[in-house]
Chain A
Amino acid sequence: MFKRLFKHSTKTGLMRFKEDGPLDSWFLILVMALLTIGTIMMFSASYVYASYYRNDSFWFLKRQMIFVIGGIALMLLVSKVKLDFYKKYALVIMGVAVALLIIVLFYHTNVEGSNESFKRWIRVPLIGITFQPSDFAKIGLIIFLAFIIDNNRKRIETDWKYMFFFLAIIGAVCFLVILENHLSGTILLAGIGIAMTYLGGVKKGWYVVFISVIVIVAIVAISNMEYLPGYIQERLKSWLDEEYDPSGSRWQTNQSLYAIGSGGLFGTGLGGSKQKHLYLPEPQNDFIFAIVCEELGYIRTVGIIILFALLIWRGFVIGMRSKNRFSSLVVMGIMFHIGLQTSLNIGVVTGMLPNTGISLPFFSYGGTALTMLLIEMGIVLSASRGIKREI
């Protein structure tokens, strides 16, 4: 019956991209759980800062809520869109992504609190919303690479030259983002791109090369810091040396560690963070996880990490069950993106990794980033409908 309906709809314009299968409720529950916890924690982390600097404790919550509600609606809507749609328009999507990355280099706005040299944000005329083209580039790259891989499946597995082609695409996108002075975005894009090629079946020997190159580059970079851009130098120094510039570039990391340490095993209780009282700068943003650790303690925080892990696992299960190779690649690409971003964020907040501006999915404040995230979740949900339908 579904098949018939589907077949019927394919005949009528855009309706051929409508997906009707039942969605994966486990995945939806995990998304909603993380979104709920994340929003509550965003409020808890932000209200002191908001009341102090904006004279309104709910300033961030109100704005975030608009995107939470809008984002959920958008996610459900996207979950109804067949992945074939993206497959069909993969080149267009990639084109738009690259175009935006170029535009932002010339037409960027400064978001409050960010560095002058950063060219990461575009303000949409008329609406006035700011967003990062690199967020869009991630999903663009995932779709585009999935499209290429799907179309050239055999050749990729056998012809080692294909890898140069992929590297060229990934490299070009990363280059544009590097020009924004956006290191974290570059790392994420590179990570996502390479993971996609791996899923695409590129010979394993390449990854030995990649890992060697990354290790060598990291060692060379750290030992020859003077050749790196100033802001990267600062971050590396303050990462390696706990005593380095405590009131400057190390401040945020230190305050983050103090917050985590203050939380201990059981935490200070919801709302009980002291570090959010203007010690940790912008606690609602990239370092929100530190406040989560302080208020909820190690046990509950590990619970949250496990929720993330379950989400990734469930996403991969959806990806692996997809009979459609394109869907499978897109879903796994998205889930890898979420997983990579989450673990990099936690790595930064705990001081395990150098400080880069990576936000925590579902938790950090930021409307357009959240919207993009929920769109990605919508795509995964759509793929899950496809599996159920096919079965």
Chain B
Amino acid sequence: MASSSIKESTKRAMTLLLILLILGFGSCIIYLGYVQLIKGDTYRAKAESSQLYDSEISAERGVIYDRNMKELAKSASAWKVVIYPNKLKDEAVREQIVDSLSKVIVEKDDQGQYTKEDLEDTKESVREKASMTSYGYLVVKNKIEKELRDEIIKLMETKISVKSEMVSLSNYIGVESDVKRYYPYGTFASTVIGFTGTEDVGRAGLELRYNSDLTGTNGRIITAVNGGANNDKMPVEFETVYDAQQGISLVTTLDETIQRYLEESLSQALLDHSAKSAYGIVMDVNTGAILAMSSQPDYDSNNPYRITDTKTIEVPEEITDKEELIEKKVEAQYSQWRNRTISDTYEPGSVSKIITAAAALEENIWPENDTFNCIGHIEVEDRIIRCSHTEGHGAQTFKQAFANSCNPFFIRIGLNMGQEVFFKYFEAFGLTESTGIDLPAEASPVKDVTYHSLENMSVVNLASSSFGQTFQVSPIQMLTAVSAIANGGNLMKPYIVSKMLNQDGEVIKQNNPVVKRQVVSKSTCDKIIEMMEEVVNSGTGANGYVAGYRVAGKTGTSEKIGANNGKYVASFVCFAPADDPQVAILIAVDEPEGQYYGSQVAAPVAAIVMQKIMTYLNVEPQFNEDEEIFTEVNATNVIGKEVSSAKALLKDEGFNVRVIGNGENVIEQVPSANQTISKNGTVILYTEKSAEKEKTIVPSLIGYGVSEIYSVASYYGINVKIVGNGYDTTGFVSYKQSVESGTEVAYGSTVTVYFKSNLTAVD
């Protein structure tokens, strides 16, 4: 009995133990496995969603360089102001933060000159974010400068009273690192480079076109916060950092110096002619690389929303309606962001006669030496088309007709070749397709809208197209076509980015020149070049003349669509040196006031730019007999020599000499021996050490011929440099000087004088 009862109690103990271990512990182990392993990831994700918060490390955007590795656009450190709205549930505290933060921001933004409305606007936007109390973190202002950052940090250190406790503002606001896009050259090439908007996204130009390349990969800092009311940071061991990766950098084909030349001249032209806009392109004819490209007026890439054009700034004053004002402003912004060299189209006018002529020569439509008699007009079907020279050019060879830009001649050869041949070359030169340049918003030609398609080209259409009317092209299309003539017949694909570099500066992609097709033969090109050179030497393009360089060019003037409104586009296309073309330039002035012919308005601009470029590119000038006077030489160094012998030596070299002081020996000569001056220039010899250089007054040098200018200059003791055709005494007069008359300058200073002809206006 006893043993059986012991057995029974042991059995019961065993049962209880097993129930406890299997039912209790066993189910715990299994259920724990379910929670921890099977549902673990779900729970972990939920835990992390409250424990972790991400803050981004902004990746630096790639740099945009010119071809000499000058930085045109780069990213630099900046900061951003953030707030922690979930800690601002108390309205009184929130309002206090909004108030003090807005004041600091507005004050720095407007350099202390802010209006009440500015402050209210800022407050409104800060308040809006501060009120989103379900967020732990919101950015109030991006891309702030060091000065504002310092002010914010000062503000963060101040304390306010919250529930009778002094709390530092750093509990509510913070400053984090950011990057900002800088354009060291400001307005420089802005329509090409473009700009970035918020979040560092490219909005225009290269910044837009190459946005995905330029944008780097943002890094992340994952911070853990605790579950307390303030969500304070957990210790650093819970922090994970993923480094940011810098974006790809672009090396462009732009040349900072050439771009500067182009922009200076264009903005001058814009002013001189009160034009709506002026734009130009400089292209390497052999590769299609864009050396410079500008559209004036443009804008400062650092501040793209500010309207720079004085003309548009004035307009809004008259408008009182706020909505209209905003509309105007937006319109003005879009207008200044527009890269007109690729987005605008215009009737090329006489410039396109290059294409017609090339087609005629290639197809032997008009033997070179056959003459054409221009009677001032030509009949095409039922209508009469007049020549710009109404009394007629008379009998002229192909070359002469080209130089005269005679419309009836080009209509004649157009009609002779017929629609099919004309269109074949029209298409071959790329006038029916986009060039494919690596910039956004290139105009795309539309069949039967911007040009006459072969199927729908009437005889009248053919006639008008032959001399450059009733069709539209973009400047880049036109210049690419002309470059094909310059390089011996290859139509290039224009491009602006030559290389892409990674973070370490290694080349990861190289853009090589692309030949689209051979359009015409080399011999045809040579003939056209010869004709174009003649245009500059004795034709409509005389103002495109550059002393010492053989320039080939063609002028163009076209009335804008919606004709007879007196609005014109004056243009000039040229390239040099004619015997070995390197660089082609297109200059167009949109809606000039007063003079409007390409020859008067655009050609002188191109000449100035071309001369500077040729010098910059170290193309050796070759002067002919007439141009000998332009030869620039160095005077012998006579410092230390006795005055009389120095004087004799320099006179022998052909210079005028002026001695200042009573000393025996030459102490200094101006211009110095390593500066070039014109052959008959003036050298000033100083014989005494005087504290100040003696000054002379710059005389007016406008409206004279070359020889007059030289004698006036020598009288005043200054040197002159002539730009434009100065030796041609028929019609060429000086129209501009680089230093205004009445200015005091040191003896021996050089003043540039620009020449142009107003006689050869009509193209």
Asked if A258 contacts B46 (CB within 8 A), the reply is: yes
CA distance A249 to B424 in the complex (A): 83
Main secondary structure on chain A at its contact with chain B? helix
Chain B, residue nearest A199 (CB): B12
Q: Report Cα–Cα, A388/B246, bound state, in Å.
A: 76
> How many chain B residues have a CB neighbour from A under 8 Å?
41
Closest to A315 in B: B17
Query: Do B25 and A305 have beta carbons less than 8 Å apart?
Result: yes
- Residues on A with C-beta less than 8 A from B227 are 255, 275, 277-280
Q: Indicate if the CB atoms of B47 and A259 lie closer than 8 Å.
A: yes
Looking at chain B's contact residues, is the secondary structure mostly helix, strand, loop, or mixed?
Answer: helix
Q: How far is the CA of A157 from the CA of B13 in the complex (A)?
A: 15
| Stretch in B3-11, B283-291, B451-459 with 4+ CB within 8 Å of A | B3-11
* Contact present for B17 and A261 (CB under 8 Å): no
A293 cross-chain contacts in B, Cβ below 8 A: 32, 36
Q: Is the CB of B32 within 8 A of A320?
A: no
Q: State how many residues of chain A have any CB contact under 8 Å with chain B.
A: 52
B241 at interface, CB cutoff 8 A = no
Would you call B561 an interface residue if the criterion is a C-beta within 8 Å of the partner chain's C-beta atoms?
no
The reply to whether A339 and B25 contact each other, CB–CB distance below 8 Å, is: yes
Chain B positions within 8 Å of A336 at CB level: 16, 20
Binds A, one of B37-45, B579-587, B743-751: B37-45
Distance of B13 from chain A, by nearest CB (Å): 5
Query: A174-182, A219-227, A345-353: which one contacts chain B?
Result: A345-353
* B20 touching A343, Cβ below 8 Å: yes
Q: Are B47 and A351 in contact (CB under 8 A)?
A: no
Q: Are A261 and B44 interface neighbours, CB within 8 A?
A: yes
Chain B, residues 258-285, CB within 8 Å of chain A (1/0): the string is 0000000000000000000000000000
Q: How far is the CB of B193 from chain A (nearest CB, A)?
A: 47
Q: Which residues of A contact B15 (CB under 8 A)?
A: 198
Q: A260-B43, A261-B39, A339-B20 are in contact. Are A352 and B27 (CB under 8 A)?
A: yes
Given contacts A199-B9, A261-B36, contact A48 B28 (CB under 8 A): no
B371 contacts the other chain (CB 8 A): no
Complex Cα spacing A288 to B42, Å:
21
Contact A263 B36 (CB under 8 A): yes
Question: Within 8 Å of chain A (Cβ to Cβ): is B461?
Answer: no
> Which of chain B's residues has its CB closest to A265's CB?
B37
Contact with A along B79-113 (1 / 0, CB 8 A): 00000000000000000000000000000000000
Assess the B25–A308 pair: CB atoms within 8 A.
Answer: yes
Is B10's CB under 8 angstroms from A320's CB? Answer: yes
> Which one of B13, B39, B226, B238 contacts A319 once the chains associate, using CB atoms below 8 Å?
B13
Q: Of all chain A residues, which has the CB nearest B24?
A: A343
Determine if B35 and A278 form an interchain contact, defined as CB atoms under 8 angstroms apart. no
CB closest residue in chain B, given A329: B9
Decide if A261 touches B47 in the complex (CB within 8 Å). yes
Whether A52 sits at the interface, judged by CB under 8 Å, is yes
Contact check, B226 vs A279: say whether CB atoms are below 8 A apart: yes
**Nearest CB of chain A from residue B600's CB, rounded to whole Å:** 78
Complex-state Cα separation, A243 to B752, whole angstroms: 85
Against B, the Cβ 8 Å flags (1 = close, 0 = not) of A1-27 are 000000000000000000000000000
- Which residues of B are found within 8 Å of A258, using beta-carbon distances? 43-44, 46-47
Check if A168 is an interface residue, CB within 8 A of chain B: no
A301 to chain B, nearest CB (A): 7
- Supposing A52-B228, A201-B12 touch, asked if A312 and B37 sit within 8 A by C-beta, the answer is no
Known: A320-B14, A342-B25. 5 other contacts (CB 8 A): A195-B16, A275-B227, A277-B224, A279-B226, A279-B227
- Listed by A's residue number, 19 A-B pairs whose Cβ atoms lie within 8 Å are A195-B16, A199-B16, A201-B12, A261-B41, A261-B42, A262-B43, A264-B40, A264-B44, A274-B51, A277-B234, A301-B36, A309-B25, A316-B17, A320-B13, A336-B20, A340-B20, A343-B28, A350-B28, A352-B31
B-side residues, CB < 8 A to A, are 5, 8-10, 12-17, 20-21, 23-25, 27-29, 31-33, 35-37, 39-44, 46-48, 50-51, 224, 226-228, 234, 238
